């Protein structure tokens, strides 16, 4: 099972110097047999917490998959995108991790699924809510 | 400005986010959020809110909750939103609900109906949204409500729906295995055309196989063929990641294969080819490539070993260790830990890399390395490793890890201690720095070891051990801030053995003890130990015919305690005073010296009181009515009655409340069912009266006062710690027995001098930081030296092995004694059973000291192992002597099986569910393979067989000295 935290776990991560491994054994925080992998891009920290049924290096790459997908969906993702559109970020995350398990690892597949959802949402939007001012501003 | 306007948030929301982003302090942020909560509370209840507006409110609620505030007032609105027909609103509702509610929340029941409806929707995206919510919200109770629909969706035409349905079923399985047990066979169908769905199926399969390996052996061929196809890039390009073909699926498959191949030669043989292929093809330049390689190593170290693959694994491991990246080093250390279980020689090559990691500033890496060291601890390197661990333990402040490392230190010390002196010193250090964190059992073990020493053979060594313990404790005792548990041990040992060797005088020790009592005036347990220790010392003095005069501070302490609020302390203080008033013979029978290990016979029927009872009856006292005959009456008479009372409190009771329990109840003395049923007299029978009564009465058998006195003494101690684990005497006595044999055997070899020398050297080397490489090499030698030690040491480790084997034998004897023990009264709990090490073990130990044994102890070891007989030879075959003909046979066999899956190209995942292999996988090979299973799966620890095997393998490995650094060994061995 895997819980996923999005905010930097201040006490644990901020104390870590540069150039150390990205893994932390975190039984003290999350209970026995948990570890934590983090990766940060500029000011954004991505933290995955998982147990021994996963491979640390692979999780590091799963973060990469997640970020790549975010990047493609948001066209150059930045902090603000995630702050303002965290529901979209959840949509993406739900495609990758479901019920505490990695369900999809192909960035292409995730994007395909998310695009379908957005398209459908838009059409349902226009049907039920009428034309919406904001929808045209999607993207840059 | 990015795309934050994407879904048309209002200016209000933008301003909210902005102001929070600009908040300078947490309190400012809180103020903003509280204000926002007020706004939302007001707005959300307004009538006729446009849906789009409502959606934004919900999003803002999530935001509020995300920042750690309570938004529960809005939950119901989120639930309502899930009912909406619009996908956008529905998804927002589901998202908010999944974030707000945990699976036991009351509102869940309101969503189940919606979920049921959505699962039947024509729009697959609706279905997906519902399935996502199912995974997060459905609890054990609501599983049946949605289960049929989820199962139906397994056959949905959209792969994304199938995939999510599988995940949902997996989730159900995790929540409540029984709810979906009839559906488990669905997971076995690997044949889905979509790789995503197939990859998702691997998740539940992994869990299922972890629990029950044997019923999935028939899938080995399918898994192998899928892995082969993945590795050969037969999957759609979309699954490639950094030029690797579907690495995540590969990793998952490798994990499953590791489970299936573990200890199963036949299954493992089918995997060799594909594993070899992956080792060869996988590029180590990318992170994900290394992830796959690491998983391969895990797999190779788990399955029935193959020398060629092991070599490949070792090669990759050394590449990891030599890497600059800390992540790879971490994985390398982990991989090394797995490989050395199969072949300890591998570690030798990487000594310096491991030591580098140990000294690395990266804490994660350091801990991982300690884990590795813990796994490779042997009697030859235990001192260096435990020293290192303790140093590290002292340096960290993280209590959680401190506890863990302390318990590891204790475990290693108990298991491999080269000498008792060392053991006690190590324990002192652990207690001093982590005393409040270690288990109380550890303290009891330590006391027991000091009390029992090494057994009958060597009485002088025992007393030497005790006096050295006393000496070290007297030195330490004055230090401030000693942990309570450690002080308890100190007090007990000082009380029991402080004056035993005549080196220290009673007043000196009692003075020290008083200081402790005063310094820890708010720790009742320590004070209790102090008083008991003082009374023991006084008793020994009196018994020896010396006059005892309490020091003034001692007297004042006792006076203070006599008026203590704690009845226990009061009682002890009165006991002490009572002891002081007795004459030598009486005292000696109450508190015989060094009798903590003596068996105490308890006359449970209290037959010695019969005459007293008779007299009372004759004088007209009412006869005793047994408890069960006076139901409803007050029964405070004895301990068991109390338990029953407690048990019965759950039922309705009609009788009046009983009188308050007298303080007597806390005492563990079995209060004799006195002839008079008058309760008041029972509670009045306080202890000081009892002693003078008991001692001068000549009619009472000798054993009674002894029993009484000792009982009281031990009980107080035991009561404080009264853990269920400790209450039965057998577990602790068995450990101590094993301890004893360990140490008893060890002691003859004059090993103490060697060990102390070795320790000195390691200390020295740490001080001299100038010659880093030399120091490192030395450390390496002392850590990894076990593999190339001399015959002397090997003998030692053999005895180690036999000694460690003994718990198993004792354990066998345990259940029978345990049942009787538990039925006995509480007073007996602390009484140690006389340790009974099996005679054959002792026989093995005896002839060995100093000389080469005539019989090969290793042979005998194998005999001892029993069921795994011959396993060591098998494992060594696999690891040391690579038999070329065998190997060729292995590889010759595999292609045929590997190809079988290959032929089918139209339907990639057409899995041969009906494996051509008979499912009864060759029992013989299975048996032979258990050795490997043991060494890989079972965690190191109390399992004596495991450590035995490890040791035997280590010994076999170590027969040939490596010659890498013989000089260093000469240093170490003196």
Distance CA A28, CA A48 (A): 16
Q: Does B888 touch chain A (CB under 8 A)?
A: no
How far is Cα of residue B884 from the mean position of the Cα atoms in its chain? Answer: 41
Q: Cβ–Cβ of A121/B241 closer than 8 Å? A: no
B333, containing H or E segment: helix B326-339
Taking 80 as the threshold, does the pLDDT of residue B847 lie above it?
no
Residues of B in contact with A106 (CB under 8 A): 196, 238-239, 241, 246
pLDDT band at B810 (very low <50, low <70, confident <90, very high): very low
> What residues contact residue B246 under an 8 Å CB cut-off, 6+ apart?
A105, A106, B195, B199, B230, B235, B239, B240
Q: Does B102 touch chain A (CB under 8 A)?
A: no
> What residues contact residue B753 under an 8 Å CB cut-off, 6+ apart?
B974
Dihedral, CA of residue A115, residue A117, residue A120 and residue A121, to nearest 10: -110
Number of H helices, E strands in chain B: 48, 0
Q: Cβ–Cβ of A137/B364 closer than 8 Å? A: no
Distance CA B348, CA B345 (A): 6
Please give the mean pLDDT across all residues of chain B.
71
pLDDT in tens, B903-960: 333 344 434 433 343 433 344 444 433 333 333 333 434 455 555 555 555 445 443 4
ipTM: 0.83
Chain B residue with the nearest C-alpha to that of A32: B400
pLDDT band at A76 (very low <50, low <70, confident <90, very high): confident
Q: Among B128, B239, B288, select the one facing A61 at the smallest CB separation.
A: B288
- Quick one: average pLDDT of B259-267? 90
Taking 60 as the threshold, does the pLDDT of residue B400 lie above it?
yes
pLDDT in tens, B947-969: 555 555 544 544 343 434 434 33
- Quick one: average pLDDT of B280-293? 88
Question: Are the C-beta atoms of residues B315 and B349 closer than 8 Å to each other?
Answer: no
pLDDT band at B730 (very low <50, low <70, confident <90, very high): very low
Minimal CA separation from B909 to chain A, in Å: 18
Q: Cβ–Cβ of A104/B163 closer than 8 Å? A: yes
Please report the pLDDT score of residue B662 as a whole number: 58
Best A51, A124, A140 member to test B by mutation, with max B CBs in 10 Å, is A124
Taking 80 as the threshold, does the pLDDT of residue B291 lie above it?
yes
Higher pLDDT, B140 or B738: B140
Taking 70 as the threshold, does the pLDDT of residue B179 lie above it?
yes
Distance CA B220, CA B921 (A): 12
Question: Are the C-beta atoms of residues B919 and B218 closer than 8 Å to each other?
Answer: yes
Higher pLDDT, B105 or B686: B105
Please report the pLDDT score of residue B892 as a whole number: 42
- Quick one: average pLDDT of B106-135? 91
Distance CA B917, CA B218 (A): 7
pLDDT band at A125 (very low <50, low <70, confident <90, very high): low
Predicted model pTM:
0.62
Q: What are phi and psi of A101, to 5 degrees?
A: -125, 150
Q: Cβ–Cβ of B291/A127 closer than 8 Å? A: no
Question: What does DSSP assign to residue B651?
Answer: S
Taking 80 as the threshold, does the pLDDT of residue A26 lie above it?
no
Please report the pLDDT score of residue B250 as a whole number: 92
Please report the pLDDT score of residue B47 as a whole number: 84
Residues of B in contact with A90 (CB under 8 A): 95, 99
First CA to last CA distance, chain A = 37
Mean pLDDT check: name the lowest of A73-77, B275-279, B311-315, B836-840.
B836-840
Q: Cβ–Cβ of B3/A139 closer than 8 Å? A: yes
Distance CA B80, CA B525 (A): 58
The β-bridge partners of A38 are A47
Please report the pLDDT score of residue A17 as a whole number: 65
> What residues contact residue B155 under an 8 Å CB cut-off, 6+ apart?
B162
Chain A residue with the nearest C-alpha to that of B60: A84
Region of residue B846 (phi > 0: left; psi between -120 and 50: alpha; otherwise: beta)? alpha
Alpha-carbon distance values, B648 to B169, B632, B633 (Å): 43, 11, 13
Please report the pLDDT score of residue B626 as a whole number: 76
> What residues contact residue B557 under an 8 Å CB cut-off, 6+ apart?
B514, B517, B518, B530, B531
pLDDT in tens, B56-109: 899 899 989 888 888 889 899 999 999 988 888 899 999 999 989 888 888 888
Minimal CA separation from A135 to chain B, in Å: 6
Share of residues in chain B with pLDDT > 90 (%): 14
Taking 90 as the threshold, does the pLDDT of residue B293 lie above it?
yes
Please report the pLDDT score of residue A18 as a whole number: 66
Higher pLDDT, B641 or B710: B641
- Quick one: average pLDDT of B562-576? 88
Q: Which of B862, B936, B801, B848 is nearest to B416 (CA)?
A: B801
Report the DSSP pairing between strands A101-102 and A97-98.
Answer: antiparallel
Distance CA B466, CA B421 (A): 10
Q: Tokens standing for B848?
A: 């060995």
Share of residues in chain B with pLDDT > 70 (%): 63
Minimal CA separation from A124 to chain B, in Å: 6
Higher pLDDT, B502 or B388: B388
Please report the pLDDT score of residue B308 as a whole number: 92
> What residues contact residue B250 under an 8 Å CB cut-off, 6+ apart?
B227, B230, B231, B244, B278, B292, B295
Distance CA B637, CA B682 (A): 8
Q: Does A102 touch chain B (CB under 8 A)?
A: yes
Residues of B in contact with A21 (CB under 8 A): 325-327, 329-330, 362, 364-365
Taking 90 as the threshold, does the pLDDT of residue B297 lie above it?
yes
Region of residue A46 (phi > 0: left; psi between -120 and 50: alpha; otherwise: beta)? beta
Residues in chain A: 140
- Quick one: average pLDDT of A34-54? 84
Chain A residue with the nearest C-alpha to that of B1: A140
The β-bridge partners of B159 are none
Q: Tokens standing for B502?
A: 């005549």
Q: Does B242 touch chain A (CB under 8 A)?
A: yes
Q: Among A57, A81, A109, select the one facing B287 at the smallest CB separation.
A: A57
Q: Is B186 helix (H, G, I), strand (E, B) or coil?
A: helix
Distance CA A113, CA A136 (A): 21
Distance CA B699, CA B278 (A): 86
Q: Does B6 touch chain A (CB under 8 A)?
A: yes
Taking 50 as the threshold, does the pLDDT of residue B302 lie above it?
yes
Distance CA B114, CA B111 (A): 5
Highest mean pLDDT: which range of B44-48, B165-169, B462-466: B165-169
Best A42, A57, A90 member to test B by mutation, with max B CBs in 10 Å, is A57
Distance CA B742, CA B919 (A): 44
Chain A residue with the nearest C-alpha to that of B58: A87
Q: Tokens standing for B890?
A: 């292995």
Alpha-carbon distance values, A23 to A47, B297, B338, B633 (Å): 10, 19, 19, 64
- Quick one: average pLDDT of A99-122? 85
Distance CA B866, CA B931 (A): 12
Please report the pLDDT score of residue B792 as a whole number: 39
Q: Which of B28, B766, B707, B783 is nearest to B370 (CA)?
A: B783
- Quick one: average pLDDT of A66-92? 86
Chain B residue with the nearest C-alpha to that of A82: B4
Q: Does A5 touch chain B (CB under 8 A)?
A: no
Share in percent of chain A as helix, strand, coil (round to 5): 50, 15, 35
R_g over Cα of chain B: 35
- Quick one: average pLDDT of B257-275? 91
Please report the pLDDT score of residue B729 as a whole number: 41
Q: Cβ–Cβ of B241/A65 closer than 8 Å? A: yes
Sign of torsion over alpha carbons B737, B738, B743, B749: positive
Distance CA B169, CA B186 (A): 10
pLDDT band at B299 (very low <50, low <70, confident <90, very high): very high
- Quick one: average pLDDT of A1-14? 46
Taking 70 as the threshold, does the pLDDT of residue B836 lie above it?
no
Higher pLDDT, B967 or A94: A94
Q: Tokens standing for B854?
A: 């005539």
Q: Is A41 helix (H, G, I), strand (E, B) or coil?
A: strand
Residues of B in contact with A102 (CB under 8 A): 203, 248
pLDDT band at B238 (very low <50, low <70, confident <90, very high): confident
């Amino acid at each position: 099972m895997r819980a996923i935290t999005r905010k930097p776990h201040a006490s644990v991560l901020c104390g870590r110097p540069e150039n150390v491994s990205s893994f932390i054994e975190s039984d003290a925080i999350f209970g026995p047999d948990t570890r934590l992998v983090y990766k940060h891009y500029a000011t954004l920290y991505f933290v995955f917490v998982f147990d021994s049924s996963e491979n640390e290096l692979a999780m590091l790459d799963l973060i990469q998959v997640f970020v790549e997908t975010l990047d493609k969906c948001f066209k150059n993702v930045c902090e603000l995108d995630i702050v303002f559109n965290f529901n979209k970020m959840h949509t993406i995350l739900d495609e990758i991790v479901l019920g505490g398990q990695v369900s999809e690892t192909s960035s292409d597949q995730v994007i395909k699924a998310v695009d379908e959802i957005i398209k459908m949402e838009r059409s349902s939007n226009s049907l039920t809510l009428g034309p919406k001012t904001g929808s045209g501003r999607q993207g840059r | 400005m990015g795309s934050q306007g994407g879904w048309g948030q209002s200016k209000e929301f933008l301003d909210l986010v902005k102001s929070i982003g600009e908040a300078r302090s947490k309190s400012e942020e809180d103020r903003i959020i509280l204000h926002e909560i007020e706004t939302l509370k007001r707005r959300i209840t307004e009538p006729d809110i446009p849906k789009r507006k409502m959606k934004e409110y919900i999003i803002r609620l999530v935001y509020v909750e995300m920042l750690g505030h309570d938004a529960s007032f809005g939950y119901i609105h989120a639930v309502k939103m899930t009912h909406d027909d619009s996908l956008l609103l529905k998804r927002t509702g589901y998202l908010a609900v999944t974030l707000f509610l945990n699976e036991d929340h009351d509102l869940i029941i309101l969503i189940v109906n919606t979920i049921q409806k959505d699962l039947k929707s024509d729009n697959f995206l609706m279905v997906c949204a519902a399935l996502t919510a199912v995974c997060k919200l459905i609890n054990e109770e609501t599983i049946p409500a949605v289960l049929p629909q989820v199962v139906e969706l397994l056959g949905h035409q959209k792969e994304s729906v199938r995939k999510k349905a599988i995940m949902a079923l997996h989730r159900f399985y995790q929540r409540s295995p029984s709810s979906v047990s009839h559906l488990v066979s669905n997971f076995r169908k690997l044949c889905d055309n979509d790789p995503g769905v197939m990859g998702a199926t691997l998740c539940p399969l992994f869990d299922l196989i972890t629990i029950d390996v044997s019923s999935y052996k028939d899938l080995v061929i399918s898994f192998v063929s899928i892995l082969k196809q993945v590795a050969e890039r037969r999957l759609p390009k979309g699954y490639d990641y950094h030029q690797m073909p579907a690495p995540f699926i590969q990793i998952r498959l490798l994990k499953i294969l590791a489970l299936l191949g573990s200890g199963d030669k036949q299954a493992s043989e089918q995997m060799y080819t594909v594993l070899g292929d992956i080792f060869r093809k996988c590029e180590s330049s990318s992170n994900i490539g290394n992830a796959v390689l690491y998983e391969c190593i895990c797999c190779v170290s788990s399955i029935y070993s193959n020398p060629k693959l092991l070599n490949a694994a070792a090669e990759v491991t050394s590449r990891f260790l030599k890497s600059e990246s800390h992540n790879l080093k971490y994985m390398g250390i982990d991989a090394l830990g797995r490989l050395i279980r199969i072949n300890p020689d591998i570690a030798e090559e990487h000594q310096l890399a491991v030591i580098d990691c140990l000294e690395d500033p990266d804490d994660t890496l350091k801990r991982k390395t300690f884990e590795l060291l813990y796994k490779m601890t042997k009697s030859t390197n235990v001192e260096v490793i435990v020293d290192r661990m303790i140093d590290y333990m002292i340096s960290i402040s993280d209590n959680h890890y401190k506890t863990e490392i302390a318990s590891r230190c204790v475990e290693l010390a108990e298991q491999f201690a080269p000498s008792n002196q060392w053991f006690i010193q190590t324990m002192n250090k652990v207690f001093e720095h982590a005393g409040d964190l270690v288990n109380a059992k550890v303290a009891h073990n330590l006391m027991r070891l000091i009390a029992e020493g090494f057994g009958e053979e060597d009485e002088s060594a025992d007393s030497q051990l005790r006096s050295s313990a006393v000496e070290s404790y007297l030195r330490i005792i004055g230090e401030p801030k000693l942990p309570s548990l450690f002080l308890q041990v100190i007090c007990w040992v000082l009380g029991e053995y402080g004056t035993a060797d005549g080196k220290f005088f009673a007043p000196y020790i009692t003075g020290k003890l008083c200081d402790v009592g005063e310094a820890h005036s708010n720790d009742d347990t320590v004070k209790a130990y102090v008083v008991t220790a003082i009374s023991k010392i006084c008793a020994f003095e009196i018994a020896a015919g010396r006059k005892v005069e309490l020091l003034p501070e001692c007297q004042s302490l006792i006076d203070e305690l006599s008026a203590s609020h704690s009845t226990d302390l009061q009682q002890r203080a009165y006991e002490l005073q009572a002891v002081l008033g007795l004459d030598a013979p009486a005292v000696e029978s109450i508190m015989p010296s060094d009798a903590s290990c003596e068996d105490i016979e308890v006359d449970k029927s209290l037959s010695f009181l019969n005459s007293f009872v008779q007299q009372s009856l004759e004088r007209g006292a009412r006869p005793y009515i047994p408890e069960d005959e006076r139901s409803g009456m007050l029964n405070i008479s004895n301990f068991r009655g109390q338990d029953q009372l407690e048990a019965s409190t759950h039922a309705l009771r009609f009788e009046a409340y009983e009188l308050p329990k007298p303080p007597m109840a806390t005492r563990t003395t079995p209060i004799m069912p006195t002839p008079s049923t008058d309760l008041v007299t029972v509670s009045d029978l306080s202890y000081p009266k009892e002693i003078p009564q008991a001692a001068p009465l000549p009619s009472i058998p000798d054993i009674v006062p002894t029993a009484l006195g000792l009982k009281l003494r031990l009980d107080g101690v035991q009561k404080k710690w009264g853990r269920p684990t400790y209450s039965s005497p057998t577990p602790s006595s068995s450990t101590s027995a094993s301890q004893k044999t360990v140490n008893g055997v060890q002691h003859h070899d004059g090993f103490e001098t060697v060990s102390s020398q070795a320790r000195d050297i390691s200390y020295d080397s740490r001080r001299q930081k100038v010659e880093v490489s030399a120091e490192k090499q030395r450390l390496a030698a002392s850590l990894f030296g076990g593999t190339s030690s001399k015959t002397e040491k090997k003998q030692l480790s053999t005895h180690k092995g036999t000694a460690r084997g003994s718990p198993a034998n004792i354990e066998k004897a345990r259940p029978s004694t345990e049942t009787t023990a538990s039925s006995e009264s509480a007073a007996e709990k602390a009484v140690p059973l006389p340790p009974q090490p099996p005679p054959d073990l002792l026989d093995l130990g005896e002839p060995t000291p100093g000389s080469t044994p005539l019989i090969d102890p290793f042979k005998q070891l194998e005999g001892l192992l029993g069921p795994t007989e011959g396993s060591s030879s098998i494992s060594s075959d696999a690891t040391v002597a690579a038999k070329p003909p065998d190997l060729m046979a292995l590889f010759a066999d595999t292609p045929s099986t590997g190809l079988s899956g290959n032929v089918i190209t139209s339907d990639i995942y057409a899995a041969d569910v009906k494996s051509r292999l008979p499912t009864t996988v060759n029992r013989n090979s299975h048996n032979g393979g258990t050795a490997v299973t043991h060494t890989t799966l079972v965690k190191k620890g109390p399992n004596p067989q495991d450590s035995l095997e490890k040791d035997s393998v280590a010994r076999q490995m170590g027969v040939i000295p490596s010659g890498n650094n013989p000089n260093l060994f000469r240093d170490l061995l003196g």
